[in-house]
């Protein structure tokens, strides 16, 4: 049984390492929400690997590398705070001074490493674990900081709850709010048990261990089968854009947009771009994009292609159009090649255009 637990810990740690590297790499794509979540998963991974190390007595080996020293708890509160901000603010770009919040963690890691190698090379022990100030700095300060971050998290969720009533009820929006509430509940429970263990010396380490393993396993599983889970949806920009374009009448402009597609059949123009539609309506491009995203729950290209496929299908089924080739129908519908026509047509209908010709 003990060997089985060690294998599970090692496997989850391996999965956590891969997940953390993947999430941290999103910093280069400026997806800050994912990056800050990656910092949290890194600490969790090192904690689980540390549990494994203690179970197999890895720490006592002379050749052991002190990887566990990188897992400073002081990383979690600022990482979670920035994660919340990046998920609840319409436009979020962390300022360089935001990273000052990670200086305490850097100080802890540096001192812990110096202490470890001083003891290993010179047999000098600074007894950091017995120092009350060090215990307060590395154990109590992180958990108290977590409480403060969770209060901030709760306030932001309350603001979002009010905003949610103004947003369209879509699957993506609902999933986005569910995701944030799930994170809030998980970190609240983790902090509760963390408080009990740190301040009141309750023996709840096993519960914390199970919680961390479950958290890492589920995130890894989701990362494989639903990578979009880590993306911040565009719903947050709705409020900002609404204020910017408040002088427009959405209902009126939406009616004009639909008329442009349904009556004037602008979609039949090949290589139709959002700019072309905006010029026809004499509206800003971003506003037209917002109309389609918010009120029609679609992207511009998907909206255009839905009209093209419907138009092509009508021609295919029209006896008077039997003399036309599929390429001719594709061009008349606004597609610029037969391959793109076949691909889009099948993705929207589940069948090839030729299947309708033979029916």
Give the residue extent of every domain in the chain. Answer: 2-233, 245-358
SS3 193: helix
Q: Is 330 helix (H, G, I), strand (E, B) or coil?
A: helix
Comparing CA positions, the residue from 229, 240, 238 lying closest to residue 178 is 229
- Return the CATH fold of 245-358: Arc Repressor Mutant, subunit A (1.10.10)
For 172, the token pair is 């993506």
Average pLDDT over residues 56-62: 87
Judged against a pLDDT cut of 80, whether residue 331 lies above it is answered with yes
pTM over 0.85: no
Across residues 62-69, what is the average pLDDT? 90
- pLDDT for position 49: 95
Model confidence band, residue 101 (pLDDT cutoffs 50, 70, 90): very high
> Can you tell me the distance from the alpha carbon of 71 to that of 262, in angstroms, rounded to the nearest whole number?
59
| 186 vs 357, higher pLDDT | 186
What six digits make up the tokens of 301?
A: 């290209």
Give the model's pLDDT for residue 358.
Answer: 59
Does position 236 have pLDDT exceeding 60, yes or no?
no
pLDDT, residue 237, reads 52
What contacts 24+ positions apart, CB below 8 Å, involve 326-331? 326/353, 326/354, 326/357, 329/353, 331/270
d(CA 35, CA 41): 10
**Quick one: pLDDT band at residue 137, thresholds 50, 70, 90?**
very high
Residue bearing the bigger pLDDT, 250 or 180: 180
Q: What percent of the chain has pLDDT over 90?
A: 48
The pLDDT of residue 243: 55
**Mean pLDDT for the stretch of residues 27-31:** 87
Percent residues over pLDDT 70 in the chain: 91
pLDDT band at 170 (very low <50, low <70, confident <90, very high): low
Query: d(Cα 148, Cα 270) in Å, to the nearest integer?
Result: 55
Q: Would the pLDDT of 241 be above 60?
A: no
- SS3 of 359, please? coil
Identify the band that residue 88 occupies on the pLDDT scale cut at 50, 70 and 90.
confident
pLDDT in tens, 193-203: 999 999 898 98
Per-residue confidence at 185, pLDDT binned at 50, 70, 90?
very high
Measured CA to CA in angstroms, residue 239 lies from 84, 87, 90, 110, 172 at distances of 17, 14, 8, 43, 16
Residue 129 has pLDDT above 90, yes or no: no
Q: What is the mean pLDDT of the chain?
A: 87
| Residue found by looking up tokens 């602008």 in the block | 266
Q: Give me the mean pLDDT over the 54-70 stretch.
A: 89
d(CA 330, CA 311): 9
């Amino acid at each position: 049984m003990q060997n089985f637990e060690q294998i599970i810990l090692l496997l989850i740690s391996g999965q956590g390492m891969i997940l953390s590297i993947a999430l941290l790499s999103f910093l280069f794509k400026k997806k800050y929400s994912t990056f800050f979540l990656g910092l949290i998963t890194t600490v969790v991974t090192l904690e689980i690997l540390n549990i494994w190390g203690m179970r197999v007595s890895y720490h006592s080996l002379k050749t052991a590398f002190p990887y566990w020293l990188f897992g400073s708890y002081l990383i979690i509160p600022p990482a979670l705070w920035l994660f919340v901000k990046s998920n609840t603010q319409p436009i979020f770009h962390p300022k360089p001074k935001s990273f000052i919040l990670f200086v305490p963690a850097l100080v802890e890691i540096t001192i812990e490493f110096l202490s470890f190698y001083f003891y290993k090379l010179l047999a000098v022990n600074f007894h950091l674990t017995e120092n009350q100030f060090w215990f307060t700095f590395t154990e109590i300060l992180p958990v108290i900081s977590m409480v403060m971050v969770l209060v901030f998290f709760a306030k932001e969720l309350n603001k979002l709850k009010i905003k949610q009533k103004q947003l369209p009820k879509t699957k993506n929006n609902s999933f986005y709010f569910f995701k944030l509430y799930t994170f809030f509940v998980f970190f609240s429970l983790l902090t509760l048990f963390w408080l009990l263990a740190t301040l009141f010396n309750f023996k709840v380490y096993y519960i914390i261990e199970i919680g961390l393993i479950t958290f890492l396993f589920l995130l890894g599983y989701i990362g494989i089968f639903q990578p979009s889970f880590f993306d911040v949806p565009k719903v947050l920009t709705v409020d900002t854009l609404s204020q910017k374009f408040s002088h427009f009448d959405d209902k009126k402009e939406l009616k004009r947009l639909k008329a442009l597609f349904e009556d004037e059949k602008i979609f039949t123009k090949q290589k139709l771009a959002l700019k072309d539609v905006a010029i026809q309506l004499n509206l800003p491009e971003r506003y037209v994009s917002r109309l389609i995203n918010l009120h029609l729950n679609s992207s511009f290209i998907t909206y255009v292609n839905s009209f093209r496929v419907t138009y092509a299908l009508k021609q295919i089924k029209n006896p008077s159009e039997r003399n036309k080739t599929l390429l001719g129908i594709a061009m008349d519908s606004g597609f610029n090649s037969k391959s793109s026509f076949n691909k889009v047509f099948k993705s929207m209908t589940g069948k090839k255009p030729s299947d309708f010709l033979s029916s």
